[in-house]
Amino acid sequence: MTRGRCLWLVAIGLLLIAPNALADLPIMTVTESDGEQKVSVTLQILVLMTLLTLLPSFAIMMTAFTRIIVVFAILRQAIGLQQTPSNQILVGLALFLTIFVMLPVFEEVNALAIEPYMAEEMAPADALKAASEPIRQFMLAQTRESDLDMFVRISGAEQVTSPDEVGFFVLVPAFMTSELKTAFQIGFMLFVPFLVIDMVVASVLMSMGMMMLSPLIISLPFKIMLFVLVDGWVMIMGTLASSFGTLL
């Protein structure tokens, strides 16, 4: 018997055995205890693994990460450095600064949801709802009312009397819009001094008749020197952290 036929027989055997084996696994087992329905641990693990795959998206959409990484990218472009610092360094800085900014929120989530759930004092649905409240309050504090009103109007939701009544899936895009707007405002303020240096260098080169020489080559050392002399990284980090002033 050839190797190919052996593989086909093994595959057919697995197809015949798999349905019977899967039928014995308690994937969708639901038990009742004191009038409450509890899902089997197998399904809970499946849901947890699914949520872990979505964790990077949650970190981008519902934390301070977006504002920080956009400002870092604009800063690198303003200085004129295309690959320095590298993307890995910028993402690492943004990640740890995000953890620093979001630490009060994470501690509240841990106290309200994670610890009670691990102690089996709270059901998974209740723990998820309790964990979403601190994150919701963080996003509401950073979202502009105009952006929130726009998405509420687009969603066709009923009349909302307070921001606390806004749905979670309406709040997230409004929060993202506000974060991008704030990041671009900070980026504009960063761009101005470096743009002035470029204009001064370009004017000096034109007055000297050196129009064939790129102004970026001459202005780059001056922009780096200016950024170092004013202790730019400390200023940028402090500005970004203090821009989330409702938490710090």
pLDDT tens across 15-70, in order?
343 444 434 444 444 444 454 445 555 666 766 677 677 777 777 788 888 888 99
Q: What is the pLDDT of residue 77?
A: 85
Residue count (the chain): 248
Q: What is the pLDDT of residue 13?
A: 45
What Å distances lie between residue 80 and 199, 217, 242, CA to CA? 14, 9, 26
Between CA 172 and CA 88 the distance in angstroms is 26
Is it the case that residue 7 has pLDDT exceeding 80? Answer: no
Mean pLDDT over each residue of the chain, to the nearest integer: 75
Between CA 196 and CA 129 the distance in angstroms is 50
Backbone angles phi, psi at 247, to 5 degrees: -110, -25
Q: What is the pLDDT of residue 25?
A: 41
Most confident of 46-55, 181-190, 200-209, 223-232: 181-190
Determine the longest span between alpha carbons in the chain, in angstroms. Answer: 88
Between CA 196 and CA 202 the distance in angstroms is 10
Those residues with Cβ within 8 angstroms of residue 42's Cβ, 6 or more apart along the chain or in another chain: 25, 26, 27, 29
30 versus 175: the higher-pLDDT residue is: 175
Pick from 104, 96, 180: which is nearest to 135 by CA? 104
Lowest mean pLDDT among 8-17, 37-46, 99-108, 166-175: 8-17
Between CA 78 and CA 70 the distance in angstroms is 12
Most confident of 78-87, 104-113, 127-136, 179-188: 179-188
Angle, helix 168-207 to helix 145-155, in steps of 10 degrees: 130
Between CA 29 and CA 43 the distance in angstroms is 8
Between CA 242 and CA 180 the distance in angstroms is 17
